[in-house]
Amino acid sequence: MKLVFDERALADLEGIYRLIAHDSPATAKTIVDRLFSSTELLISFPFMGHAGHVPGTFEWVVPRLPYIVVYEVDPTREQVIVTAVFHGAQNRGGNE
């Protein structure tokens, strides 16, 4: 499997970085780096998440972080596509 981040997921990560960096750039970098490295687990275990709110998606809570990764699995292309990353306390408003 190959791990792919779509534009929205990258924008989400950028937003997470900016929000945390307002108080601590070093912490922001550490958190975003951990999000990227943790998400690589989906390459080996693409179905470890649970069924997402949107049909056809999965959601995975990143260990020891309050973030949820929303993703799709495309077995034909052998890809895990990350479509969103958000804080667990964030009001999603049905816009996964």
What structural domains and CATH numbers belong to the chain?
2-87 (3.30.2310.20)
Is the pLDDT at 14 greater than 60? The verdict is: yes
The mean per-residue pLDDT over the stretch 42-70 comes to 95
The three-class DSSP label of residue 72 is: strand
**What pLDDT was estimated at residue 94?**
52
Cα 57 from Cα 74, distance rounded (Å): 10
Cα 90 from Cα 15, distance rounded (Å): 13
pLDDT tens column, 59-95: 999 999 999 999 999 999 999 999 999 998 876 665 4
**What pLDDT was estimated at residue 4?**
97
Residues pairing with 67 in the sheet: 87
Mean pLDDT of the chain: 93
